[in-house]
Structures are given as C-alpha cells and as structure tokens.
Chain A
Amino acid sequence: MDKLIIAGRTFRSRLMVGTGKFSSNAAMAAALHASDCEIVTVALRRVDIDNPQDDMLSHIDPKRHLLLPNTSGARDAEEAVRLARLARAAGCEPWIKLEVTPDPYYLLPDPIETLKAAIILVKEGFVVLPYINADPVLAKHLQEAGCATVMPLGAPIGTNRGIRTRDNIAIIIEQAIVPVVVDAGLGAPSHAAEAMEMGADAVLVNTALAVAADPAAMAAAFAKGVQAGREAFLAGLGKQRLHAHASSPLTGFLRNEA
C-alpha cells in the first residue's frame, strides 16, 4: 500500500488538518472524523485565568490522531523554541510544526529564524516540520539540518487562494529527500488535488474546512481531492503540449484524400 512515512512513522492519510477557527468543538470534531486524517495541528496559548475555556483536547481522540502542536505566535527563533518545549511539557510527543511569522499582515515565515530554531530543536530531539515560503534553497538547508519534512506554503495562511507558488513547489518536490507537505492557502479540494498531482507527499488544510458552511462535508471532499491527486500522480500524468493531438486515427475519413 501507498503509505506516508515521516520520521520513521507510517501514516495512511495524506491529509493533515488544522483545528483553528471552527465555530465549535463539535464542528471541529466532525470535520476531523470526516477527513479521516491522522495528524492534527493545535496551537499553544496562555490560559485566560479569569475565564478558562472548554478544553478542546477532549474532542480529539488521541488513538486516532497524532497531535502536532505548532509554534504559531512566535516572532523569532527563541519564542518558537520556548513554545516547542512547552508543548512537549504539556504532554505531546516531541513533534513540532515550526512556525515563525513576525509579519502580522501576510504571516509569511521568517526563513532565518526558522532555520535557527530548527537546528536547536533537532538537537533537542524534536521531530521538526517547518512551515516555510516556497524557497527550494531554504528547503535544502532545513533538510540538511535534520527536519522531518518541509511545509511550503501555497498562499498566505487563511487566504484560500490555492497554489500561487507552483513553480517553486515543483522544484522543492524535485529536490526533496524528506516528505513535502503543502501547507497554507489551499481553499478547495481541487487545490489539494493539484498539490498531490504535482507529487507533494501530503497537504495541510484548516481554514477551508473551518469556514465552510458544512465543515464535515468539506473535509470529506478534501479527503477525496487528496486521494484523487495522489492516485493521479502515481498513475503518471500525461505531458502537456501546445498543439492538438487527435485521439482517433487521422485516416479513413469520409472524403477522398488528395
């Protein structure tokens, strides 16, 4: 069977799902179930000590899902490392989606701080999955630093704009020695299918599910998109060409050939 392997661990699903922005924990749980995903991202924040909220972890089945905490909110390497250590102390396995996004408008990842943090976290025994711009050279540096995947963005987080970084993602995939997970910006199942057709190993989706009128139905649709794209990639897509190429023989027409 076609399995995804990250840091020696085998996964059946190539769709990772984020848990932000859902209207309720019930809607989130329904989407996780419908997506059939195995890797689920979460974030860490200060508890509001005056008003503790319903605990979202009680809605995620630890037998079905590997929790992948992110370092969202970190503006530099030091903050990201601090969050990763806290996530581990909170009881997570030492898997971390490394995000360093100093710019609040586009939430684009800082490549220098991301690499710095990755080097530290790999040394501390973390399985590091860095969120990056679609920069093939940075992807190589992160692989050499021992990261378990690279996670290039299709478009800025939460924009639903699809794969705007297609040519660079193609280079990253071509050169990758670790799984490539296209993360951020995927707004429709066709975007996820496109990433998988290109040869991405997995995709991560959050906003597109959370803001859908029916998150669970959208999660099921994304699962199909990922599956279709993966199967098409494995089947081998035909080459694109500029001119028409007839599907039937160009002989035997109902006319006399000159």
Chain B
Amino acid sequence: MQLKINGKTLEVKDGCNIEALLQQLGLKADRVAVERNRNIVMRSDFDTTVLQNNDQIEIVNFVGGG
C-alpha cells in the first residue's frame, strides 16, 4: 500500500503499523512525533496503530532553533 509521508509517497507492506514504519525509515521512536491524517498518535500507540492505504503521515523531530 502507499502512504504519503511528509509530502512524499512511500510504498510499505500492508498492515504496517507506525512502529514498523519508523523502523523502515531508520528513525528512533523516542525522538519523533507522528501525526496520522492530522491526528497526533501517542508514542504508546505506535505499535498498535495499523496504517491504511493513502494515510497522510507527518513525522517531525527536533532541530536547532531559537
């Protein structure tokens, strides 16, 4: 299935959850925040949130800022 992640299209396995998605992307779950279709997904729900085809995902992390 296809996801839209941070504006880019990505192919992932059907039934993929957010934890698996972060692993596929090489991201640490404890350093990011994730929105699915504009709703924040709490970290404790990463492994139980199963993604659907065409989900819009935003993944943010901290960068330098004043």
Do A and B form a real pair?
A: yes
Q: Could you list which residues of chain A lie within 8 angstroms of chain B, going by C-beta atoms? A: 18-22, 28, 41-50, 52-53, 55-57, 67, 69-70, 72, 85-87, 89-91, 157-158, 183-184, 204, 206-207
Q: Check B19 for interface membership: any CB of A closer than 8 A.
A: no
> What total count of A-B pairs have CB within 8 Å?
103
Output the nearest chain B residue to A183 by Cβ-Cβ distance. Answer: B66
**In the complex, are the beta carbons of B66 and A45 less than 8 A apart?**
no
Knowing A47-B6, A90-B33 are in contact, say whether A28-B64 is a contact too (CB < 8 A): yes
A52 CA to B61 CA, complexed, in Å: 10
Which one of B5, B31, B43 contacts A55 once the chains associate, using CB atoms below 8 Å? B31
Q: Check B1 for interface membership: any CB of A closer than 8 A.
A: no
Interface of B is mostly: strand
**In the complex, are the beta carbons of B62 and A206 less than 8 A apart?**
no
Q: Check B30 for interface membership: any CB of A closer than 8 A.
A: yes
Q: How many residues of B contact A (CB 8 A)?
A: 28
Residues of A within 8 A of B50 (CB): none
Residues of B within 8 A of A207 (CB): 66
Q: Could you list which residues of chain B lie within 8 angstroms of chain A, going by C-beta atoms? A: 5-8, 10, 25-28, 30-35, 40-43, 58-66
Knowing A49-B5, A57-B62 are in contact, say whether A89-B40 is a contact too (CB < 8 A): yes
**In the complex, are the beta carbons of B32 and A70 less than 8 A apart?**
no
Contacts A42-B65, A44-B33, A90-B62 known; 19 new A-B pairs at CB < 8 A: A19-B64, A20-B65, A20-B66, A22-B64, A44-B61, A46-B59, A47-B6, A47-B25, A47-B27, A47-B59, A47-B60, A49-B10, A50-B8, A53-B63, A55-B61, A89-B43, A90-B31, A157-B66, A183-B66
